[in-house]
């Protein structure tokens, strides 16, 4: 952890406790959604399971949980969700066209796209978004580059394909997770 | 109507089985297995409607997680191998 | 009203199964691992999400509907991460891109660090 990551002004001990607490609340809400009942027995079991989860996996949770209470991130997240769903539906019709066309218009290859995002979770979300959008699937992240398998390479110019592959999402993900 | 859809969804598993049996390389077989796991979740959802038993969806959720763990394990195993081993 | 809800949910399930068919046809027709992974992951994931949405529409926000709603993000994350793992593993295993491929940046990367 570098020093500039801790921009909230809290000490590391406090941040660490908040991290465990955030994982506890998240997993307990997940349990409540799954069981969908507030009977005492079910709630007690849920608290126990959330405690065990927190004990074992707390150290793998987000480094900076103060992002949870910054409300403008949720606003951008909702906008991003609609764009993402629209791109998903487009991706499916794109795949359907390529699969059902008798000649199969494919021109696959792996291209290297530079990343500007820094935090690991934001990078993972960008890779997930790239996988669900038309014609691309993320293969690997090495240092500051993401390798993308593309089913129809429409241009050989790096700047142009960077804009096509990650330009749609990078701004939003920067605002939400980074 | 729903029964016919269930039969179609089950029939799609045959495509995956074809890929698992005939796939030229191990990776093809693993892709088939991964997709098979996701199709089973759809079958679970339709069966839960048909029989009106909500707990079958729990089976689906558990299936998602187990199929994910299986795929990751196989991928990690494959990653440390080479073609001539 | 109840009829409309049932028709709507059956329609969503039918659309999902249509997408599943596209994905599985892609699994059969496309030439190499990466393209198969691409078509199959995208289409089958969205198709199954559509089926689960059908369950949600049919039962509303009751116990079973909420379970279907929880399963959707879970499915998205697991399916995409599994696709990354498979693509990376099959490249490192030594499977080359298909004959139709035109471009490969990953080949000169020094990825063999393990």
Range of the domain at A51: 3-69
Are A60 and A12 within one domain?
yes
CB contacts, 8 Å: C93 with chain B: 26-27, 78-79, 81-83
**Per the CB < 8 Å rule, is C51 touching B26?**
no
Sheet holding C103-104, edge to edge: A136-142, A145-150, A109-114, C103-104
Are A84 and A171 within one domain?
yes
Asked if C50 has any chain A CB less than 8 Å from its own CB, the reply is no
Are A27 and A64 within one domain?
yes
Q: How many CB pairs under 8 A join A and C?
A: 127
For A174, residues 6+ apart whose C-beta sits below 8 A from its C-beta are A116, A117, A122
Closest to C80 in 3D by CA, of A126, A99, B27: A126
**How far apart are the CA of A153 and the nearest CA of chain C, in angstroms?**
8
Are A163 and A106 within one domain?
yes
Boundary-marking domain end, from A69, A85, A118: A69
A18-23: long-range contacts (C-beta < 8 A, 24 or more apart)? A18/A65, A18/A66, A19/A58, A19/A61, A19/A62, A19/A63, A19/A65, A20/A54, A20/A58, A20/A61, A22/A61, A22/A62, A22/A65, A22/A68, A23/A53, A23/A54, A23/A57, A23/A58, A23/A61
Number of domains in chain A: 2
pLDDT value for A44? 92
pLDDT tens digits for A39-94? Answer: 888 899 999 999 999 988 887 777 777 777 778 888 888 988 898 888 888 888 88
Are A79 and A40 within one domain?
no
Q: Is the separation of the CB atoms in C103 and A158 below 8 Å?
A: no
Are A152 and A132 within one domain?
yes
**C14 vs B5, B16, B39: nearest CB:** B5
Are A62 and A80 within one domain?
no
**How far apart are the CA of B22 and the nearest CA of chain C, in angstroms?**
10
**Low-confidence residues of chain B: pLDDT under 70:** 82-85
Are A173 and A156 within one domain?
yes
Q: Would you place residue C112 in the very low, low, confident or very high pLDDT band (cuts 50, 70, 90)?
A: low
**Per the CB < 8 Å rule, is C85 touching B25?**
no
- Within B23-81, residue ranges assigned H as helices are 26-51, 55-79
Give the total residue count for chain B.
85
Boundary-marking domain end, from A34, A69, A104: A69
Residue in B with minimal Cα distance to C71: B61
**How far apart are the CA of B78 and the nearest CA of chain C, in angstroms?**
6
């Amino acid at each position: 952890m570098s020093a500039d990551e801790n921009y909230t002004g809290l000490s590391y001990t406090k941040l660490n406790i908040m991290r465990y607490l955030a994982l506890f609340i998240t997993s307990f809400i997940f349990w409540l959604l799954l069981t969908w009942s507030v009977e005492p027995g079910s709630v007690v079991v849920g608290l126990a399971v959330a405690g065990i989860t927190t004990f074992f996996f707390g150290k793998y949770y987000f480094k900076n949980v103060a992002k949870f209470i910054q409300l403008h991130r949720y606003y951008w997240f909702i906008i991003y969700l609609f764009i993402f769903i629209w791109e998903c539906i487009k991706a499916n019709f794109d795949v359907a066209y390529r699969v059902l066309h008798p000649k199969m218009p494919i021109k696959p290859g792996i291209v290297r796209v530079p990343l500007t995002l820094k935090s690991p979770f934001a990078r993972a979300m960008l890779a997930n978004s790239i996988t669900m959008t038309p014609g691309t699937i993320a293969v690997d992240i090495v240092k500051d580059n993401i390798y993308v398998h593309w089913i129809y390479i429409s241009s050989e110019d790096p700047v142009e394909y960077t804009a096509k592959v990650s330009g749609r999402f990078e701004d939003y993900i920067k605002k939400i997770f980074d | 109507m729903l029964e016919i859809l269930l039969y179609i969804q089950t029939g799609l598993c045959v495509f995956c089985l074809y890929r698992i049996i005939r796939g030229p390389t191990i990776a093809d077989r693993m892709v088939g297995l991964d997709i098979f796991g996701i199709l089973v979740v759809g079958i679970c959802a339709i069966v839960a409607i048909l029989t009106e038993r909500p707990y079958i969806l729990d089976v689906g959720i558990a299936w998602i997680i187990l199929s994910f763990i299986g795929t990751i394990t196989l991928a990690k195993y494959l990653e440390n191998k080479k073609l001539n081993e | 009203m109840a009829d409309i809800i049932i028709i709507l949910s059956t329609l969503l399930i039918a659309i999902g199964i249509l997408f599943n068919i596209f994905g599985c046809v892609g699994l059969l027709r496309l030439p190499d691992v990466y393209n198969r992974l691409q078509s199959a992951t995208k289409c089958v994931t969205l198709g199954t999400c559509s089926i689960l949405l059908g369950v949600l529409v049919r039962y509303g926000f009751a116990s079973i509907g909420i379970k279907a709603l929880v399963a959707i993000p879970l499915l998205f994350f697991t399916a995409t991460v599994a696709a990354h793992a498979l693509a990376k593993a099959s490249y490192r295993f030594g499977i080359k891109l298909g004959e139709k491929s035109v471009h490969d940046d990953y080949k000169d990367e020094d990825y063999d660090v393990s």
